[in-house]
Structure 1
Amino acid sequence: MTAGAQGQEAHETDPQALPDSAERLRVARIGKPHGIRGEVTAQLFTDEPEERLAPGSVIIRIAGDQTVDRITTLLTVTRQRWNKSVALLSFREINDRDSAEALRGSTLYVEVPMEEDSDDDGWYSHELAGFACVDSAGEPLGTLKELITGSAQDLLVVTATSGEDVMVPFVEEIVPEVDVENQRIVLTPPPGLF
């Protein structure tokens, strides 16, 4: 198997696999088409949509359909706008409603240089996913499913030991410690959250 084929296989099996010089950041999930000219709605996962999804940005699309191979393609943003509180995106490669419908459920990523991730107080979702969540006494509360970034505050989605997903505000009072080395997050949740 050639190095290129191995790299392609890694991208198909691990959507976070990248060269050492870059990191993949999830920025959006495509929703339903909007209109007839290929525009789509988008659920945003970035607090910098104006920068990450600016016209001219090249976006990595991973197909959301789990019944087929996870297809990776590149899209170029031509327009980003808001319709009330809904983000709308247009791409150079998508010109009609049928093509836009084919994108539904896809996840969009951008590649960022490693140097951009030098802030010790910030994390991307894939860096924390799978971390054990414990209370201040070390008792298990669950496993981190994902980090959702928001304009007001970030949220941790924790799959509790009961199997239920619990949304935890990512604030210092409730999340006093993130131990990256031991892949552990200490939580001090209010009573009744778990």
Structure 2
Amino acid sequence: MADPRDRVRAPRPASGAGSLRVGRLTKPHGLKGGIKLELFTDNPELRFVPGAVFHLQVPEDSEWFGRTITMRELRWFNEAPVGFFAEVEDRTAAESIVRAILWIDEDAVEAGEEENAWYDHQLVGLDVVRDGEVVGKVSEVQHFPAQDLLTVATPAGPVLVPFVEAIVPSVDLEAGIVTITPPDGLFESGDDA
């Protein structure tokens, strides 16, 4: 059986590669290897637990390329999450790994109970519905540090939809539907405006 670490490589695992992006390391915290985290999960208590293993998305020339890190502890300082990892022993090591994206493998995803988490390949091809009408299909999921975007293919061309609960309140994989409540003007063409 292949080593699960081989499934995730920089710059980013391909859609459907059996991984879920859960966070990003932003900057060192203190002298003992702590690193501030940007979380891409609604349930850090499920993902960032002692013993959790994270695959790293880093440039190929990084000393961390192809490696994993293991969570020792997650602490909160001034409402900001700070991770401590077994392989990151001091500030120097923390500085060398900053900006890495953290991914967990499919087995870890399936073992958890995270709501509102989907693989890109599950979303691509779903009908996008607004007020009961199909307005297009999801053609791509784009990942950015602040938020993800759904690219929706429409007859008038692609529309980028922020993948946030206020605009995308539900995803029904069984029905093949992404329900959206976009702000005025996002989907209107010149004729409709």
Q: Same fold (TM over 0.5)?
A: yes
What stretches of structure 1 of length at least 5 have no aligned partner? 19-23, 149-154
TM-score normalized by structure 2?
A: 0.65
Partner-residue secondary structure (3-state), 2:8: helix
Match of 1:82 among 76, 82, 85: 76
SS of aligned partner of 1:139 = strand
Task: Tell me which amino acid in the other structure corresponds to 1:185.
Answer: V
Which of 8, 12, 17 is residue 9 of structure 2 equivalent to? Answer: 12
Determine if the alignment matches structure 1 residue 101 to structure 2 residue 98.
no
Kindly report which structure 2 residues correspond to 1:1-194, keeping only aligned pairs within 5 A, or say none.
4=2, 10-12=7-9, 14=13, 17-18=17-18, 24-54=19-49, 56-65=50-59, 71-111=65-105, 112=108, 114=110, 116=112, 122-131=116-125, 134-135=128-129, 136-140=132-136, 143=139, 145=141, 157-159=149-151, 165-170=160-165, 175=169, 178-179=172-173, 185-194=178-187
Question: Is the CA contact (8 Å cut-off) linking 1:128 and 1:146 kept in structure 2?
Answer: no
> Aligned partner of 2:149: which letter?
V
Distance 1:82 1:176, change over 3 A: closer
Contact (CA 8 Å) 1:27, 1:45: kept in 2 or not? Answer: yes
Taking the aligned partners of 1:10 and 1:156, their CA distance within structure 2 comes to 22
Query: Are the equivalent residues in 2 in contact too, given 1:29–1:105 (CA < 8 A)?
Result: yes
Aligned residues: 175
Contact 2:120 2:140 survives alignment (8 Å): no
- Root-mean-square deviation (Å): 3.9
Distance 2:23 2:165 in 1: 20
CA deviations on 1:9-47 (whole Å, 9 max, x unpaired) are: 6533736534xxxxx333211111112221101011222
Name the CA shift for 1:26/1:11 in 2 (closer, same or farther; >3 Å): closer
- The 1:180–1:71 alpha-carbon spacing in structure 2 relative to 1, beyond 3 Å, is farther
8 A Cα contact 2:54 2:103, kept in partner = yes
Distance in 2 between residues matched to 1:35 and 1:137, nearest whole Å: 52
3-state SS of the aligned residue for 1:138? strand
In structure 2, what residue type is equivalent to 1:139? V
Give me the whole-angstrom Cα distance separating, in 1, the residues matched to 2:170 and 2:74.
36
Query: 1: CA distance between counterparts of 2:150 and 2:41?
Result: 19
Aligned match of 1:151 = none
For residue 97 of structure 1, report the CA deviation from its aligned partner.
1.7
8 Å CA contact 2:64, 2:97 repeated in 1: no
Q: 1:130: Cα distance to partner?
A: 3.4
